[in-house]
Structure 1
Amino acid sequence: MNIQRTLLASAILSAYSTLAFGQSTAAPAVQQVIVTANPFGTAVNDQILTPAKVLSGDELRDKAGSSLGETLSQELGVSASAFGAGASRPIIRGLEGARVKMLENGMAVSDVSGLSNDHAVAAEGAVAQQIEILRGPAALLYGSGAIGGLVNVVNERIPTTLEPKLTGQVEARASTVDTGRNMSGTLDGSVDKFAWHIDGNARNAGDYKIPGNRVLGDADSASGRLPHSDTRERNVGVGGSFVDNWGFVGASVSHLTNVYGIPSDEGSKIDQKQTRYDIDSLVKAPFAGFESFKFKAGFTDYQHAEIGQDGLAEVIFKNRSTETRAELTHKAVAGWHGTFGVQTENTHFSALSAEGGPDTVPVTRSTSNAAFVVEETDIGPVKLNAGGRVERVKREPVTGVDRSFNLHSASLGGLWPFVPGYALGATLSYAQRAPATEELYSAGPHDATVTFDVGNADFKKETSRNIELNVQKTSGLVRWKANLFRNKVSDFIYGHITGNLLDEEGNPGTELRQRIFEQADATIHGAEAELEYNPTGAGWSGRVFADTSRGKLDRGGSLPLQPANRVGVSAAYKMGALRAGLSLVHAQSQDRLASFETTDTPSYNQLNANLSYTQKLNGYDLTWFALAKNLTNDEIRVSTSVLKDIAPLPGRNFVFGVRAKF
């Protein structure tokens, strides 16, 4: 823990020395951003028991990237899988895959991004109004397996209010590193008591430039542009709802197509398609003693094909999912205010060979039925938040052994405001996760990752015991927080690259690395600290942060793909129509390797900048903006990427654009 203490101490000390300029005792007015994935719909500043981050407004637009992982990669405790420009999934405190749940408007995205890092998240951030990161008791509403937390992309395709006039936003941006072009827009309106919404996004980008050579330490490898890092994405959604004093009921439909390259030696492409249908409703004061009743239902039809260099599909992944949620929020009873409900999910998943060879994962039907409750109360000055969930999951493959899992999860958090503006908190949680379909039944080639995957149908359920301590200053011009966490996981499931080489049939060969899913006890622990000066007010503002986590197998050795220790600092200026900012993130080298990982990840510095000017033009708010990413053209390889040795992140990139709001 010496490195952790040094990182946190240096972050706090440099923050106070850097941000001491121009302080005043008056606190700025703070805009209340509501966390929609929280059962109580409270403001982000009230999320003291479940440390949360909400990206919205200008901050979201400045950080928006071509993937959800890129957009969130500099948030506290969040890194990214970075599998090229097309696929990058958030990793929270060293936990990835199925342990971090992806939501869209509070419903599961139902893609297959949790299965493997080469699979993109089927949720588009370009049209999002906000993106939420939550951990702790609130996550139990959405799944027992969300040990790492959840990410909720909010686009409000189903309107909940009536807009008095036509409102919308259109944005166009171009990027130099990949000759990229992106157009996105939203439009909202209403007729009488009917509200409607339209959104869309189109993105084209070529192979991106890299600062040095493609292969780490190989001066003879390719340079210039990273082969097979191009993307082409289209996304459109429409929705409508009937809104009245009693609440609302509505529906939406959306369709996404995404074709992107896989910058591995094989140069695969993934052709992704998803259509989803959603229903959402809210009834205010449905019964005596209750504040609201919510019902949601969604159907998702997802598939993607992994295409080889010959242009032919090799493996086709499909996932058809139906999800329902019903929630009742009750008024205070004996001082406790909370939400309880039920959730069901029915999925058909498969990863079948398109060439007549072994199937990667057989057709498998999974069902999940769950009940949950989240409550909060005040006991004197102490705030308490508690949650519980019971769930039964069943996996039924067409070939193989059926498995059933009874899951129990609970969380308890407490907050003590020991002096005005300062708070000390603690959270204890216990969560169980059923092994995913691919962890149980994989038995075939996965060409995009160049692996031959082997599951184990005898796996036990995964059990996590987590403790988190935090202290924070919640008011004034200078605000800060620090978190310590330790997560003990029994029967942790991970992919072990054995070193054996196989062919497409699973026989000894030279094409594919054997990856066997294994189970072992593990411990993940770490620390985070963040200090902000005037984060929402006019004039100067600043931020300093540091985070570190370490994942180890209890029997010895590190977990694979662990994030590097990071320290970051940023400064910004906002006055009237002008806004500007500069940020620097330093990541240390990462030499804490799993037994089958062979190379350390070098340290790097990432320097970003932003500049924007907003003017009024014929009733429009017209914002001209310029973003600069990796200004120093540093060679950046992230330790959480499977492709870290052969696929660095983009080099220096300038983004120019214009955004119109009305």
Structure 2
Amino acid sequence: MLSKPLHLSPLAIALWLASSPGQAVELAPQVITANPLGNSQLAAPSTVLEGDTLLQQQQGSLGETLNKQPGVASTWFGPGASRPVIRGLDGDRIRILRNGVGALDASSLSYDHAVPLDPVNVERIEIVRGPAALLYGGNAIGGVINTFDNRIPDSPIDGIHGAGELRYGGADTTRSSAGKLEAGDGTFALHLDANSRQFNDLRIPGYARSSKVRDADDPGSKHRLENSDGRQDGGAIGGSYQWDHGYAGLSYSRYDGNYGSVAEPGVRLDMEQDHYAFASELRDLQGPFSSIKVDAGYTEYQHREIEDGEVGTTFKNKGYEARIEARHQPLGPVEGVIGAQVSRNEFSALGEEAFVPQTDTDSLAVFMLEQWQATERLNLSLGARLEHTRVDPDGKGNERFVDADSSNSFNAASLSSGAVYQLDPVWALAASLGYTERAPTFYELYANGAHVATGTYEVGDPNLNKEKAISGDLALRFDNGTHKGSVGVFYSHFRNYIGLIGSGIQREGEDDETIPEYLYSGVRARFYGVEAQDHWKLLENRYGSFALELSGDYTRAKNLDTGEPLPRIAPLRVNSGLLWELDRWQARVDVQHAAAQHRKPANETSTDGYTTLGASVGYHFDIGQSQWLAFVRGENLTNQTVRYASSILRDIAPAPGRSVEVGLTTRF
């Protein structure tokens, strides 16, 4: 296992090799993979983060890294755990993929469960907003986040190259190091990476508890978010064999983390994940298919919730996912792929605080995507997916899970269509319309118990039907060399939105305390909103080049059965960034404004608006043939109290206060 060597500085090898200029090579370019047909003009709204852009946005968790992207918010459960929210949808409505394949964890079950991934290992992130169930399943009904790390190199590598990074600072005094090494002879390719991150309790502007819940006699912690410290270690080894018309490879990665639960003083989560992956592609084939791509992964995951040194509950999840995509030969102007996907996960929760039974979930799906270049300006796409899911619980004699004595099976169908019309060289119109179905998850069906992390008593419904939605997007895109961006609207109507709805009943929790009961129920729901972004090249002269980045989003969501707003919806947000580059220097100043959020259910609290200021400066330099970047980044420089409406802990866990971080990166 890789757990012991990870405590060594992973940057050391990278720095040593950087002193050998004769080994430097150019990194291979990545290929956009959100569309298996290779067309970057997707009808669905999409965003790609890589290079310096990803470096500037990188945080300790995936949710915080993507929090400023249009339509993407964060579940924020302190610096240890944060999952992305897309257009107000979270949990099992968002698929988080690793190189196109799901890696099992328990992050969708509870907000205090982290995604076992450190963004420092990621070279590229693709975000596809809206119904992406076509290729990735019904639980991508809200969108897909695909991360790429090249742990199985998919193109030849000649010589030795790599990268390294050191960071220090931030509101949690992060100390992180990471390194990557890749080597090959054009036929065989090897990848090694490792990372380590430690962080202290988070500094915050004032009290952790908001004025809405703060007790005058016991106001709680101030200027520090108690029990928010932790660590993350990870590493991987992978390799591939390349030939003229394809590749095949394997990888193994390990993640090991330990962090405090900010909702439960004295409780820590100790997390481990082992992931094995296989990937292969055959290209330039003769016959009905021009290429065939296979991806597969097997994961063993567990985390223990430790209270006062004793293990209270252990969550385990193990299983596999495999998919095959075959691209057929063009049929006139029509190109397309057909594919199949199979997965299994075995989940168990052992201990006094287990609120879900042991459950096995199996799924099998087939899908297709066809693309037709109807005219020189008009591109059309049509896709379909059929998926069978079986959920098999075992209550193990626990009287709370007497309803978990029989399995449930669901057949889900999805259909998607899209069009991109190039109005002229500058303007394009993109539209998509989809019908998606999602099978209920095991916890929506069988939960029955106190969920300590959220302070609720959750009750599932084994008679739940499939979640069904009709969703559409319409966007105007533009690129005239000076301005590049888009303005779009979206709408989703759910016929059976599975929400966690308060019943108004109090149930017995820990220490004879009562907690509110919440039921997983199917309701009619509506989501709609607007997203916009623009990169504006202002001017370029002897003082440098200047650009302005603008973005904003607004989402509204309503429970149509009760007339109330749905919970945890981010408010109107507007971001602006002024960029400057001159020779080896680069700098930017960012301002983010979020409005107050008063549209919420009666049993939730509102959040105040805020405006934050950030700034960064970086300097590029070379040593031999290695490229270096030294940078300083400041965030929330005016030390504003920020509480995310999308976080269930908005009233006890504010976002970070003023912070300054320094870093050094190298590539060779």
TM-score (norm 1): 0.91
* Residue 348 of structure 2 corresponds to residue 350 of structure 1: yes
Q: Where does 1:164-243 land on structure 2 (aligned, <5 Å)?
A: 164-191=158-185, 193-217=187-211, 218=214, 220-243=219-242
Q: Which amino acid aligns with 1:91?
A: V
In structure 2, the residue matched to 1:35 is 32
Measure, in 2, the Cα distance between the counterparts of 1:137 and 1:411: 8
Q: Where does 1:87-166 land on structure 2 (aligned, <5 Å)?
A: 87-135=81-129, 139-166=133-160
- Shift in Å, 1:534: 3.3
Question: Does 155-164 or 534-543 show the bigger shift?
Answer: 534-543
In structure 2, the residue matched to 1:585 is 592
What is the aligned-residue RMSD (CA, Å)? 1.9
In structure 2, the residue matched to 1:466 is 471
Distance 1:615-1:230 versus aligned 2 partners, 3 A rule: same
- Shift in Å, 1:81: 0.5
- Shift in Å, 1:331: 2.6
* Residue 385 of structure 2 corresponds to residue 379 of structure 1: no
* Residue 622 of structure 2 corresponds to residue 616 of structure 1: yes
Q: Percent identity?
A: 34
Q: Where does 1:42-441 land on structure 2 (aligned, <5 Å)?
A: 42-43=39-40, 46-47=41-42, 49-135=43-129, 139-191=133-185, 193-217=187-211, 218=214, 220-308=219-307, 310-353=308-351, 357=352, 359-380=354-375, 381-399=377-395, 400=404, 401-441=406-446
Are the equivalent residues in 1 in contact too, given 2:368–2:385 (CA < 8 A)? yes
- Shift in Å, 1:632: 0.9
Q: Where does 1:547-558 land on structure 2 (aligned, <5 Å)?
A: 547-555=553-561, 556-558=563-565
Q: Which amino acid aligns with 1:154?
A: F
TM-score (norm 2): 0.90
- Shift in Å, 1:173: 0.3
3-state SS, counterpart of residue 98 of structure 1:
helix
Distance 1:655-1:499 versus aligned 2 partners, 3 A rule: farther
- Shift in Å, 1:600: 1.0
Measure, in 2, the Cα distance between the counterparts of 1:192 and 1:176: 41
* Residue 452 of structure 2 corresponds to residue 447 of structure 1: yes
Q: 1:559 aligns with which of 563, 566, 570?
A: 566
3-state SS, counterpart of residue 166 of structure 1:
strand
Measure, in 2, the Cα distance between the counterparts of 1:34 and 1:212: 45
Q: 1:529 aligns with which of 512, 532, 556?
A: 532
Q: Which amino acid aligns with 1:549?
A: T
Measure, in 2, the Cα distance between the counterparts of 1:118 and 1:591: 25
Q: Which amino acid aligns with 2:422?
A: P
Are the equivalent residues in 2 in contact too, given 1:258–1:271 (CA < 8 A)? yes
Question: Does 476-485 or 55-64 show the bigger shift?
Answer: 476-485
Q: Which amino acid aligns with 1:554?
A: L
In structure 1, the residue matched to 2:496 is 491
Distance 1:359-1:180 versus aligned 2 partners, 3 A rule: closer
3-state SS, counterpart of residue 85 of structure 1:
coil
In structure 2, the residue matched to 1:10 is none
Distance 1:463-1:237 versus aligned 2 partners, 3 A rule: same
Measure, in 1, the Cα distance between the counterparts of 2:576 and 2:136: 33
Measure, in 2, the Cα distance between the counterparts of 1:446 and 1:316: 14
Give 5+ residue unaligned stretches, structure 2.
1-27, 396-403
3-state SS, counterpart of residue 357 of structure 2:
strand
Measure, in 2, the Cα distance between the counterparts of 1:145 and 1:177: 34
Are the equivalent residues in 2 in contact too, given 1:162–1:189 (CA < 8 A)? no
In structure 2, the residue matched to 1:21 is none
In structure 2, the residue matched to 1:595 is 602
In structure 2, the residue matched to 1:572 is 579
CA deviations 1:418-454 (Å, max 9, x no partner) are 2222011211000000001111111123222233321
The number of equivalent residue pairs is: 622
Measure, in 2, the Cα distance between the counterparts of 1:61 and 1:359: 38
Are the equivalent residues in 2 in contact too, given 1:200–1:235 (CA < 8 A)? yes
Q: Which amino acid aligns with 1:128?
A: V
CA deviations 1:367-394 (Å, max 9, x no partner) are 1000001111111221112211000000
Q: Which amino acid aligns with 1:269?
A: R
Measure, in 1, the Cα distance between the counterparts of 2:349 and 2:159: 47
3-state SS, counterpart of residue 63 of structure 2:
helix
Question: Does 141-150 or 56-65 show the bigger shift?
Answer: 141-150
Q: Which amino acid aligns with 2:525?
A: A
3-state SS, counterpart of residue 558 of structure 1:
coil
* Runs of 4+ residues deviating >3 angstroms: 31-34, 135-139, 218-221, 497-505, 534-538
Give 5+ residue unaligned stretches, structure 1.
1-30
Measure, in 1, the Cα distance between the counterparts of 2:481 and 2:29: 15
Measure, in 2, the Cα distance between the counterparts of 1:334 and 1:246: 24
Are the equivalent residues in 2 in contact too, given 1:314–1:447 (CA < 8 A)? no
CA deviations 1:396-416 (Å, max 9, x no partner) are 111322100000001101122
